[in-house]
Structures are given as structure tokens and as C-alpha cells.
Structure 1
């Protein structure tokens, strides 16, 4: 089962960039321009679509997401329903407020508890005769894993504490953590108490230092 949840819609300053394209075709865009435009965004996937919801560019991870959502090999044939809904939402906002640039954010919850965080905005490029929709896709699970790995080292967590902390960071309840790790809820509480104690020591040392 997949769920699409809108998390935020906000005004974003207009973003005009020049890519040096010779004509108004997206095919002539230097793809490295699109990559460079979002490097600072720290995202995994990139999708660029027309206002007709046709995909004109996608990186490797973006194509994987399309296949995961839609179970199709050729993403140009059919755009997943969730992506269509995101694009439609952004277009409706633009129609209501044509003089403002908007950023809208969605979370897609899919099977095996994967969470995809998608930010959508209009991509306006000099010398192109139409704006395109830019979707930036972040794999929340991968992001959380990286954060927990850093925190485990910073706080000096044991391997078991790291497992508990990872599941806690993923939003699991104590009962869910206990069930997944095959331990008792009381044991989970003890681990969490130890983790918070270690965190406080590190934070206190940092503030004093």
C-alpha cells in the first residue's frame, strides 16, 4: 500500500539560471547543469517533467523510483499516479498565484516502510520557451541511516544501542522496537535511557568546551 501525504506548500524565490542551450528544446540542455543545480539539495533522485506531465529527464535513482512506484521499465510511457498528483498540485498553485514561485513537499509511504520525501518546484531556465517541473527525491531511510551512523560514533553507542536508536529514529514505538529486535519493552527502555544519558554527556561537553 502506498500513501501520498502533502507536508508543506510554501513560497520560494524565483530561480532563473542559464544553461547556454542553443534552442528551446529540453533535449539540448546540458544534463550536468541539472545535476549541478541540485547538488546542494543533497537529494538522491531527480525528475524533470513538462506541464503535460511528460518526463524529459531523470537520473538513475529517479528511474528506480519510477519503476518502484509504477512497475514499468520505460518511464516515458506512463507517469506514476503519485508523481501526477504532485505535478497537478504544483500546477494548481501556479494557476492561483501566477506571479509567485512555489515549493511543495510530499512524503510517499510505500511497502517495507520506505519513505520518499519529494520536493517539487518550477524550473525556469533561460532560452527555454516553457517552464519545467523539477522533482527532487530524498530517500528518508538512507538519510536516517547516515545520521544514526554518525550519532552512534559521536555518542559512543554499543551495537545494540545503535540498533535501538536507528529504529527509534525511524519512528518505531518501544513495543515495535522490542518486537523487531526480539527483546522486551523494558530492555528497550533501558537502552534508550543509556542512549539519552550518553547524548547528554556529549552535548554538555560540547557546550562547556
Structure 2
């Protein structure tokens, strides 16, 4: 989270920076809302973790497989010439298979949210059709109900970590201020710790790695 705050501060400073007259970049602000779907693959699909509580009692923590999920894609930010800087947020909750059980035999509600920063460079700016290429950094949380087992006791579990992203999108301006934005975002997540009420925060070594491929379509308004 500290890294996110530092990057957000840099983005805000850049957005508010007044360029010399000879180097002025047109600046607009924007908001966008869309919806998309994602698939994922990685350690969540293969690994079941073993942990100990403060009394030394062992338990198993089962990640969700998250083979497919849908989510809204919300953004706000600033356009500086051909560059776009944005703050993004995704949140969704769905029923998913829990790893370590036969397929479709044990499903629970899984809540996932992601907050992050994105920077893209828009080819063909300022035309009505632009192709954006960029990168992002985000913080993620994946919480599963009834997925940590200590004897006869069952608890919720939450995995927390970060991700770098590769971003590709298209801006098709319907009007001067309104655009349709299809996008593909590939997140390479590393989850550094897991929490459940039985063990509190537990650092993971090695980390759990999970790749998410997210495709969305949004409507963007700039002003």
C-alpha cells in the first residue's frame, strides 16, 4: 500500500504540473465505467497451504481456483497529451471452486478487489481512434469463505498481494468528450501473506503467483 501511495502522489504532482508555454501539453480529466470478465491460472489452482496457530495446531488453507469471474472496471484520471494516467478499481464476488477438492464438489463465495495505477501511451493521438499501450501496478485481496480448516473448525481466509500489469486498449471517440474503450489487462500477481482469524497474518514463503487476464469494455467521459 505504501508503494501505491507514493505512485499516486507522483501521478497527482504530474497532473498538476504547469508546463512552460513552449512545452504545453493539452490536459483533460476523465472518468470511465465498464464491465469485463477474466480468467486466471497459477498457484491458486495447484497449492494447498499448511499453517499453524499460536498453539501449534496445524491447519490447511485452500485458495480459490478463480478459473473465470466477471467484474466492473472503474477508472478516473488525467490525460496529458498522448499519455493517460489513471486510478482503477475492480470489485466482484462470485461462487468459485476451492482448490484441493474434486472439481465442482466444494464451492464457496469468493470476494476479490483490486486497486491500482495505470499509465498508457496513446498511439495516433489526438485522432478519434487511438491505441493505448502501457503498464500498471495494483494491490489485490482475495477472500474466500469457509476455506481454512483447523480440526473441526472452519474459517474464512484472505490472500493479499500486489501485481504488475501490461495494458492494451483502444479509444474510439464517439464525440469529442465521449469514448468507447475496449481493453485487455494482464496482471501478474504475487500474494505475500494470508490471513484467517485462527492465525492472523502469515507471510508466505515462497509467494503464491497467479496470472489474471482481464478483458473489458468501458465508456469514458473526459472534461
With structure 1 as the length reference, what TM-score do the two structures score? Answer: 0.27
The structure with the largest alpha-carbon Rg is 1
Greater helix content: 1
With structure 2 as the length reference, what TM-score do the two structures score? Answer: 0.26
Greater strand content: 2
